[in-house]
Structure 1
């Protein structure tokens, strides 16, 4: 004779805990009693009761929709990154062909304003403006600039977000009032050479939470291209 489980109450009724324990101990129970799945009723968010099978189907559909949205987001992110890579590669290839500081600025402005659809672009170099006879580059004193820009220069990394009026005026000049958000990219190679700034009329276009890998890549490349051009322009200015 098989042993019977003892009941915790006088009526000999199964408790919910016993049912749960039994089902956990026999995970194939509903495989052998599949017809019960259609009889079990569960509450639904609509207010009506549905069978366990219907509930499972609903859950599977919700999971499927969730995974489809995640897959779509991943594909869109990959496409976005691919477009950014192509644009940045095109920018760097054109920069490598620049033979002067003036040409470098033309390439930067054409790329950011046209290819990347950014509203404003500014390149500021630090040094004696009388030494470099370039027409479309702003030359400023490093120490005076540091007094205004502060850790934007000393941090060594690109900054994205909103700027106060003083910083915007120094970086964007007459366009300062139209700049709602910006990315500020210090250019350093042994020393602080300058700062590249790109701005947008949209306040949320550049945010502190956005990644700066692409901007750091541009910064590292520009920082290595600048010294030879500065030496060339400086020689031309002193002759």
Structure 2
């Protein structure tokens, strides 16, 4: 028993009893106009206001809150629509590319032009020699070299965003006059890890761990499906040694 309950007289209603009764009978004040007019509540301005005025005030606050939330949702929807259109244009250009260099160039142009970011890089992993000379945003490295330089960044299937170490940023975006400060890195996988797709910003806080990666994943999923056939087209066939001829 609380001290307040102990002070209450037998049969006397507590504040909690009254509140509970009103919750169970929300229509209690119907037909009680005189009672409503006599009830007053303190206001921030210092003057007393009626219960009806207080309800109107609360309804207006709720309306304003809902209006702000609606405006925010509409703004997010418009932003996502713009991202979708940019992503669609990028993917159509990638699909129409005739070789790996054109594919990487289309990505670089879209990321820097449409998306307004500072750099893009497509790094493919293979031990086989290519018949095509990598140019621009395209790099081709051995899987062991990529593992040595990027380490745990290659372990997951989802985009990794953050500032990264300087050695990692330099590996992803070499030969830059203005250094990249933050990165979004997406693995390119189908049955195996084919490479990475990286986007860079010169702003240190542009990409962070809490950043959404839906559209990056959307782009990387498409690239991952296109890469195996494109890479096979430009990989030199392995040299076959004639063991019988050598033995003779």
Measured against the shorter chain, the TM-score band is 0.7 to 0.9
C-alpha distance in structure 2 between counterparts of 1:157 and 1:14, whole Å? 60
2:51: which partner in 1? 52
Cα offset for 1:133?
A: 2.6
CA distance in 2, matches of 1:133, 1:28: 80
Specify every segment of 5 or more residues in structure 2 that has no aligned partner in the other structure, as ranges: 1-7, 240-248
Helix, strand or coil for the counterpart of 2:117?
coil
* Contact 2:124-2:140 at 8 Å conserved across structures: yes
CA distance in 1, matches of 2:14, 2:169: 72
- Whole-angstrom distance in 2 between the partners of 1:37 and 1:224: 69
CA distance in 2, matches of 1:183, 1:125: 16
Corresponding residue of 2:160: 159
TM-score (norm 2): 0.82
The answer as to whether partners of 1:91 and 1:111 remain within 8 angstroms in 2 is yes
SS of 1:29's partner is coil
Change (3 A) 1:112 1:23: closer
Q: Is 1:64 aligned to 2:63, yes or no? A: yes
Can you list the C-alpha shifts for 1:200-229, whole angstroms capped at 9, x where unaligned? 122232221122221112111111111222
Query: Which protein has the bigger helix share?
Result: 1
2:113 maps to which residue?
A: 114
**Aligned to 2:173, what secondary structure does the other structure show?**
helix
Segments of 5+ residues of structure 1 without an aligned counterpart are 1-7
SS at match of 1:32: coil
The total of aligned residue pairs comes to 229
Distance in 1 (alpha carbons) for counterparts of 2:235 and 2:61: 65
What is the DSSP-based 3-state SS (H/G/I as helix, E as strand, rest coil) of the residue aligned with 2:74?
helix
Q: Which residues in structure 2 correspond to 1:143-158 (within 5 Å)?
A: 143-158=144-159
What is the CA-CA distance between 1:134 and the residue it aligns to?
A: 2.0
Aligned to 1:3: none
Deviations 1:136-170, CA, capped at 9 Å, x for gaps:
12221211221221121121221112211121111
Hey, what does 2:81 align to over in structure 1?
A: 82
1:194 deviates by: 1.1
Answer yes or no: is the 8 Å Cα contact 2:128–2:235 preserved in 1.
no
Query: Distance in 2 between the 1:213 and 1:25 partners?
Result: 46
- Using the size of structure 1 for normalisation, the TM-score is 0.85
1:125 aligned partner: 124
